[in-house]
């Protein structure tokens, strides 16, 4: 059974696809919704309101982006408040990434904490 992946791209979640494909899917969905509304009520809008549709879609996309950011922050706060495995892993990773392992002295020589580098003053 040989299936061409290109035929099934439209079946997948837009979050997996790239930004341009997501925008295209959202615009197409918006146009379909607006067209069905126009068909139901032909006096709803004039034909030159395509710019308004795009503005509405941009507002919707921005709103979705903000909601997603808030949701991820809420997840982190919910999962991160306790000393959970998730919180410990993210804190350890951040501490390791932000730590200074060695410095270059005025002579251009790399010095680590075990070498000549003095202990940090807090």
pLDDT at 39: 60
Q: Phi and psi of 113, rounded to 5°?
A: -65, -30
Residue 25, judged by CB atoms within 10 A of its CB (0-12, 13-18, 19+), counts as middle
Among 11-15, 17-21, 39-43, which is the least confidently predicted range?
Answer: 11-15
- The total domain count for the chain is 1
Residue 90 lies in a domain: no
What local confidence, expressed as pLDDT, does residue 48 receive? 53
**What contacts 16, CB < 8 A, 6 or more positions away?**
none
Where is pLDDT greater, at 2 or 108?
Answer: 108
Asked if the structure places residue 110 within a domain, the reply is no
Q: Is 28 among the domain residues?
A: yes
Mean pLDDT of 21-25: 72
C-alpha dist (Å) from residue 108 to 34, 43, 102, 111: 66, 76, 12, 9
Predicted confidence at residue 19, as pLDDT, reads 62
The rounded distance, in Å, linking the Cα atoms of 21 and 31 is 15
Answer yes or no: is pLDDT of 79 > 80: no
**Residue 94 resides in a domain:** no
Tell me the C-alpha distance between 18 and 14, whole Å: 8
Q: What is the pTM of this model?
A: 0.24
Between 50 and 18, residue with greater pLDDT: 50
Q: What is the pLDDT, as a whole number, of residue 81?
A: 56
Rounded to the nearest integer, the mean pLDDT of the chain is 67
Structural domain containing residue 45: 9-80
Check pLDDT > 50 for residue 103: yes
């Amino acid at each position: 059974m040989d299936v061409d992946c290109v035929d099934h791209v439209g079946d997948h979640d837009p979050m997996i696809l790239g930004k341009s494909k997501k925008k295209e899917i959202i615009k197409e969905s918006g146009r379909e919704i607006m067209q069905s509304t126009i068909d139901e009520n032909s006096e709803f809008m004039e034909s030159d309101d395509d710019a308004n549709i795009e503005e509405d879609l941009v507002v919707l996309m921005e709103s979705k982006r903000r909601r997603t950011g808030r949701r991820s922050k809420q997840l982190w706060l919910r999962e991160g408040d306790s000393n959970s495995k998730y919180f410990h892993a993210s804190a350890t990773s951040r501490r390791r990434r932000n730590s200074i392992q060695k410095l270059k002295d005025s002579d251009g020589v790399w010095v680590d904490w075990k070498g000549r580098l003095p202990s940090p003053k807090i």
